[in-house]
């Protein structure tokens, strides 16, 4: 069975965080818009593909990381991952909000705390060994024992590039204005 190179854009801070009124002004103060590029990371939807990428030579992993891909699977493809992410983020943001409300933080302190949390969450999403648990394992929203995910075939850079190009072409096609064509100019008014 060949690897699935389909990927999606993961939100570092998910929409649920932005929808929560008690966090809206914190995120606004920090300038972290939901749609900003810094709140996005490309992740594969298939955990087998992620395992193959993690097993690839360091030069391949560094290229993937440099192009905006993480070494973790898309949260939506792993049961409980989004809940794990929210269970991590909401208490942290609540603490920042409380410290701001109690005047223990200035607005600038709160902004820096939100930035720090976002950077930490980005590192966790990258899952490239930047954030580890006490045992030295990559920290993620759920514990994944990568030694239990068999690598069925090597990561194929050319197939990954093909998937990226197909995604870019689909995005470009969907953003083009619809052409009315020559006959669109001569429609009868009804």
DSSP string, 119-148: HHHHHHHHTSSSSB-TTSPBP-SS---GGG
Own/partner pairs, 145-152, CB within 8 angstroms, 24+ separation: 146/51, 146/54, 149/47, 149/48, 149/50, 149/51, 150/48, 150/51, 151/48, 151/51, 151/52, 151/55, 152/1, 152/3, 152/48, 152/52
Is the residue at 130 inside a domain?
Answer: yes
Is the residue at 168 inside a domain?
Answer: yes
Is the residue at 44 inside a domain?
Answer: yes
CA distance to 9, 15, 61, 170, per residue, from 167 (Å) = 11, 22, 20, 5
Tens place of pLDDT for every residue, the chain, 190 residues? 689 999 999 999 999 999 999 998 899 888 899 998 889 999 999 999 999 999 999 999 999 999 899 999 998 888 888 998 999 899 999 999 999 999 999 999 999 999 999 998 998 888 866 677 666 666 777 778 888 898 999 999 999 999 888 888 887 887 755 544 444 444 444 4
Q: Which range marks the domain in which residue 34 is found?
A: 7-184
* Domain total in the chain: 1
Is the residue at 189 inside a domain?
Answer: no
Is the residue at 2 inside a domain?
Answer: no
Is the residue at 177 inside a domain?
Answer: yes
Is the residue at 23 inside a domain?
Answer: yes
Is the residue at 93 inside a domain?
Answer: yes
pLDDT value of position 29: 83
């Amino acid at each position: 069975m060949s690897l699935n190179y389909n990927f999606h854009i993961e939100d570092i801070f998910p929409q649920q965080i932005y929808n929560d009124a008690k966090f809206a002004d914190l995120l606004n103060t920090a300038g972290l818009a939901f749609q900003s590029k810094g709140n996005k990371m490309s992740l594969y939807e298939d955990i087998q593909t992620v395992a193959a990428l993690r097993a690839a030579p360091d030069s391949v992993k560094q290229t993937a990381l440099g192009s905006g891909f993480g070494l973790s699977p898309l949260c939506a493809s792993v049961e409980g991952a989004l809940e794990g992410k929210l269970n991590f983020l909401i208490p942290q943001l609540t603490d920042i909000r409380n410290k701001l409300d109690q005047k223990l933080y200035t607005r600038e302190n709160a902004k820096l705390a939100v930035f720090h949390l976002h950077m930490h969450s980005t590192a966790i999403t990258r899952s490239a060994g930047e954030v580890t648990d006490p045992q030295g394992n990559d920290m993620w929203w759920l514990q994944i024992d990568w030694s239990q995910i068999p690598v069925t075939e090597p990561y194929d850079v050319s197939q990954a590039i093909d998937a990226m190009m197909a995604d870019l072409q689909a995005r470009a096609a969907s953003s083009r204005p619809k052409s009315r064509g020559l006959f669109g100019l001569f429609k009868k008014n009804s």
